[in-house]
């Protein structure tokens, strides 16, 4: 590998900081991760400290270099990705002024109402492509202004999680356009900050960094960062993309007609569009893509694999995920009429409701742990089907292929359930590390290894398939399972409306 140029992708997810190295063919040659913990100081709150991201990045970068048996000199360029929407607030000296408020934090329902009032709900959707939801960045800024005025008075820079790593790597304040559009401070069509929205919300424009297309260079690794990470000083750092846009690059969902389904902590359905396509009610997210000049529609289940993680950690901490899923495979399709609502952190699509709660419905004495586990897997699949139905209604009925990735997608049972619930073929993903892999591809495009993102994804998928690197066999829907899931989905759809008064009452209590 001596003398070969490598490209690194760094992913700041909710659970870990990952670093991944690819060569000029797109093959993965080294990767590593460092775990992160989530802080929930109050119900519905979710925070992390940016210092932990940097410590995790240092560890994973050095470990990935070791795994590839190379020095930092071999890395020609770096791409960044990470969890979207989180508020990272810095003072004039670049110091963090409070823990980051994350994408799955649900404290800002009041501020969302205020944004709708100040901007106008329809006008907000038409400018930004989105309604105001608690997970987004803008309401978090208003929450800090109202509840922590002393912190707000110190704020001078607003970044997103991966862009804090960019700042620590390069000293530059910068952001990519895909992640920027997820703040709902963006003009979706103009692909940059909206002066009208910023003015309506009294957010100083100078607090927000310049934005760049995914493959663009935003800075160089500093001498200080090089000393900590083992990277070479002067290595270019590309803009990259929010985790879902980078994930889509990683699995090749860069062209219209291809959807990406990510089964991570959250569950995401992502469909590329050639022009801004806005769902009039704002029930789907419309963002810029990490691919220059493209956009995408997206729906989110806040607790997807996160539901299984909670279930294991809370009810079966001594058992592995593999043990639980093997048990679930023995339970019948439909879990003998047991349904699970995965609204453990509120919900986003199709119900933008921070008060929504998780639930098992239909429990009887005959249900076993295997039924409970399988119901969790099926409930997440039903939630993702909600997004597919909205996309079909918005005019994307011609989706020709769905590519699945993410940690939860390692389970063959879960993939079979998803295929039958959604009624679609789930195609191979070139790698299970989609976001970090996509960031590495964007780095390679920016460094000239490939002329554009489409070429990079095609070459990379061919390379991964040639070596069998993490490729899944395609999964077809099972007609017998579909016959069970179709009426169950109708019952699942009715549960939210039936239980909403109870959810709201419990939130007050």
Query: Which of 302-311, 344-353, 394-403, 481-490 shows the lowest mean pLDDT across its residues?
Result: 394-403
pLDDT at 430 over 80: no
Contact 20, 437 (CB under 8 A): yes
What are the phi and psi torsion angles at 408 (to 5°)? -65, -25
The pLDDT value given to residue 311 = 97
Specify the pLDDT at position 467. 64
Does 1 score more than 60 pLDDT? no
Q: State how far the Cα of 255 lies from the Cα of 433, in Å rounded to an integer.
A: 20
Smallest CA-to-CA distance from 341 within 351, 328, 327, 333 is with 351
Question: Which fold is adopted by the domain 300-428+478-508?
Answer: Nucleotidyltransferase; domain 5 (3.30.420)
Least confident stretch, 139-148, 228-237, 382-391: 382-391
Among 179, 243, 353, 386, the one annotated catalytic: 243
**pLDDT one-digit tens code per residue, 167-200:** 999 999 999 999 999 999 999 999 999 999 999 9
Cα separation, 287 vs 273, in Å, equals: 10
Give the lowest-confidence range in 158-162, 205-209, 267-271, 290-294: 267-271
Into which CATH architecture does domain 6-251+433-467 fall? 2-Layer Sandwich (3.30)
Q: Is 243 a catalytic residue?
A: yes
How would residue 470 be classed by pLDDT, with cut points 50, 70 and 90? Answer: very low
Residue 2 has pLDDT above 60, yes or no: no
Q: Which of 60, 115, 48, 38 is nearest to 309 (CA)?
A: 38
Q: What is the pLDDT of residue 256?
A: 85
The answer on pLDDT for 440 being more than 80 is: yes
- Which phi and psi angles does 158 have, rounded to 5°? -120, 125
Q: Are strands 258-263 and 401-405 parallel, antiparallel or unpaired?
A: parallel
Q: Could you report the per-residue pLDDT of 451-468, keeping only the tens digit for each?
A: 999 999 988 888 777 765
* Residue range 134-154, pLDDT digits in tens: 889 999 999 999 999 999 999
- pLDDT score recorded for residue 405: 81
Share of the chain above pLDDT 90, in %: 79
- DSSP 8-state class, residue 333: T
> Quick one: average pLDDT of 222-240?
98
In the predicted structure, residue 125 carries a pLDDT above the cut 50: yes
Give me the pLDDT at residue 90, please. Answer: 98
Q: How confident is the model at residue 231 (pLDDT cuts 50, 70, 90)?
A: very high
Give 348-351's long-range contacts (Cβ < 8 A, gap of 24+).
348/133, 348/135, 348/299, 348/300, 348/301, 348/302, 349/283, 349/284, 349/285, 349/299, 349/300, 349/301, 349/386, 349/387, 349/390, 350/283, 350/299, 350/386, 350/387, 350/390, 351/496
Delimiting residues of CATH 3.30.420.40 domain(s) in the chain: 6-251+433-467, 300-428+478-508
């Amino acid at each position: 590998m001596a003398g070969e140029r490598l490209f690194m992708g760094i992913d700041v997810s909710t659970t870990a900081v990952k670093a991944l190295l690819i060569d000029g063919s797109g093959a993965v040659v080294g990767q590593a991760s460092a775990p992160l913990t989530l802080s929930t100081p109050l119900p519905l709150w979710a925070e992390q400290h940016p210092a932990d991201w940097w410590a995790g990045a240092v560890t994973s970068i050095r470990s990935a270099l070791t795994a590839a048996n190379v020095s930092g000199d071999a890395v020609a360029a770096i791409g960044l990705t990470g969890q979207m929407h989180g508020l990272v607030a810095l003072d004039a000296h670049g110091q963090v002024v409070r823990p980051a408020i994350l994408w799955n934090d649900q404290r800002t329902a009041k501020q969302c109402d205020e944004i709708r009032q100040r901007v106008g709900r329809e006008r907000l959707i038409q400018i930004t492509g989105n309604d105001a939801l608690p997970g987004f960045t803008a309401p978090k800024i208003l929450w800090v202004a109202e509840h922590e005025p002393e912190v707000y008075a110190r704020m001078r820079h607003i970044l997103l999680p991966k862009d804090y790593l960019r700042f620590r790597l390069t000293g530059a304040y910068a952001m990519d356009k895909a992640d920027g559009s997820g703040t709902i401070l963006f003009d979706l069509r103009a692909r940059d900050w909206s002066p009208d929205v910023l003015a309506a919300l009294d957010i100083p424009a100078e607090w927000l960094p310049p934005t760049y297309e995914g493959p663009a260079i935003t800075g160089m690794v500093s001498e200080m960062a090089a000393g900590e990470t083992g990277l070479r000083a002067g290595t270019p750092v590309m803009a990259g993309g929010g985790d879902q846009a980078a994930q889509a690059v990683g699995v090749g969902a860069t062209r219209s007609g291809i959807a990406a389904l990510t089964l991570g902590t959250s569950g995401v359905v992502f469909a590329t569009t050639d022009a801004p396509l806005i769902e009039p009610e704002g029930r789907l997210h419309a963002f810029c893509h990490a691919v220059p000049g493209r956009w995408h529609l997206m729906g989110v289940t806040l607790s997807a694999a996160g539901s299984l993680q909670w279930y294991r950690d809370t009810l079966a901490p001594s058992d592995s995920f593999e043990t639980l899923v093997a048990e679930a495979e023995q339970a019948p399709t439909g879990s003998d009429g047991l349904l699970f609502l995965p609204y453990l952190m509120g919900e986003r699509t199709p119900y933008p409701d921070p008060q929504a709660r998780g639930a098992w419905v239909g429990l009887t004495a005959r249900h076993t742990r295997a039924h409970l586990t399988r119901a969790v897997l099926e409930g997440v699949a039903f939630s993702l089907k909600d997004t597919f139905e909205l996309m079909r209604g918005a005019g994307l009925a011609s989706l020709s292929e769905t590519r699945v990735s993410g940690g939860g997608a390692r389970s063959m049972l879960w993939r079979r359930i998803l295929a039958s619930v959604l009624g679609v073929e789930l195609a191979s993903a070139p790698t299970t590390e989609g976001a970090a892999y996509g960031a590495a591809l964007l780095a390679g495009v920016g460094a000239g290894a490939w002329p554009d993102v489409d070429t990079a994804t095609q070459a990379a998928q061919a390379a991964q398939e040639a070596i069998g690197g993490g490729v899944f066999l395609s999964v077809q829907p099972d007609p017998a399972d579909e016959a069970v899931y179709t009426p169950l989905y109708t019952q699942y759809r009715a549960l939210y409306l039936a239980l909403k008064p109870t959810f709201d009452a419990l939130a007050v209590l």
